[in-house]
Amino acid sequence: MFTKELLLWLHVVLATFWVGGMIFLSLVIAPYIRDKPFKKEAFQEVGRRFSLYGTLITLTLLFLTGVGLAYTLHGGFERRTIKEKLFLFGLVVLISLLHDLWAGKRAIDSEFHRRWAKILGIVNLILGLLMVYMGVRIRLGM
């Protein structure tokens, strides 16, 4: 059985991987790939790999650990901030699916989809940072 501390630690590590991965992609990988002749293929491959680990696995585990923390540390979903964070999480999942399954898959051949993939990625990063902030507020009892 997980202790509260281990559950919180895992949740923080997962959030770090997810948000940190998006920041790394934006600030390191994307600028490096942008000028390369293989940029379309590289973006597709990096996106596919991050989608598996960042979206499917990490978001699933973040949901599970977040629900566990809501119950073990706060007695459920009664606090407004927890409900708001859960709503944002649902929005992030929806945006991630739109990014990965619609815009991202078509971005290699379409400037329209490439722009939407970028917009959806930026929105997801902003929401992710907001959710980290909300998690801090929740943990501090605010």
Domain boundaries, the chain: 4-139
C-alpha span between 104 and 114 (Å, rounded): 7
What's the pLDDT score for residue 1?
56
pLDDT band, residue 48 (cuts 50/70/90): confident
Query: Considering only CA atoms, which of 51, 44, 130, 60 is closest in space to residue 98?
Result: 51
Residue 46 in tokens:
């990096």
Residue 90: pLDDT over 80: yes
Higher pLDDT, 44 or 123: 123
What's the pLDDT score for residue 83?
93
pLDDT band, residue 60 (cuts 50/70/90): very high
What's the pLDDT score for residue 107?
87
C-alpha span between 87 and 30 (Å, rounded): 29
C-alpha span between 74 and 58 (Å, rounded): 22
Local structure of residue 110 (DSSP, 8 states): -
Share of residues in the chain with pLDDT > 90 (%): 67
Residue 96 in tokens:
């991630």
Listed in sequence order, the residues at least 6 apart from 28 whose beta carbon sits closer than 8 Å to its beta carbon are none
